[in-house]
Amino acid sequence: MTTTATPALAPRTGAEVLDVAPVVPVVVVEEVAQAVPLAQALLRGGIGVIEITLRSAAGLEAIRAVAAEVPGMVVGAGTVVTPEQALAVTAAGASFVVTPGSPPRLVDAVLDLGIPALCGTGTLTEMLTLAERGLTAMKFFPAEVSGGAPYLSAVHGPCPQLRFCPTGGISPANAASYLALPNVGCVGGSWLTPKDAVAAGDWARVEALAAAAAGLRTAS
């Protein structure tokens, strides 16, 4: 069942982040010791990217551990909401950052750091504002309650140059409908790393979920 992902080069832009894997696992790590085996299980399943969020006290050190100990895994930092956090995750070794929204001060900090980013958008105005700053790859969040796949399909007409990673309410049931859109590079989802599996150290289950997710690109 093991289908280890081909090691990906560190992305140089947000656009390159979108092309690493069809699904970006969005992970809350409660204990730093969980981070490395979790990332290794994803990699064995064929998913070579992970977004470790700052929603827990262990998030920053988990990013540091995966960046240092899991060669071939592209590790990103999620739920980055302040310039100070953007600086901290960059210093910890994150290859990219993901923000839930795009306030000007935070976007300024990300651009100044030069780290690839998927900044959060939920409206056309936010999308166009980021495009004015030279960012054409972005996060669409929260995807399902912000109009879902039909909204992104409608956006493609006036903004064909923009590409997205929709996150929020994405599951195996609807992921393929997003990935079929021409302006979606990947989706973000938490279903690859269920809390009970991570708590139990059930890395075989995580690997199996990753393998199924890795096949979504072909299926779409």
> Catalytic positions, please?
51, 139
* CA-closest candidate to residue 3, choices 215, 173, 201: 215
ω into 150 cis (within 30 of 0): no
Three-class SS state of 98: strand
CA distance 150 to 1: 35
- Which single residue is written with the structure tokens 């992921």? 175
User: Cβ contacts of residue 176 below 8 Å, gap of 6+?
Assistant: 216, 219, 220
User: Cβ contacts of residue 95 below 8 Å, gap of 6+?
Assistant: 10, 11, 17, 67, 74, 75, 76, 115, 116
DSSP 134-193: T--EEEETTTGGGTHHHHHHHHHTT-TT-EEEEBSS--TTTHHHHHTSTTB--EEESTTS
CA distance 78 to 202: 23
Contact (Cβ atoms closer than 8 angstroms) between residue 147 and residue 172: no
* CA-closest candidate to residue 17, choices 205, 167, 142, 126: 167
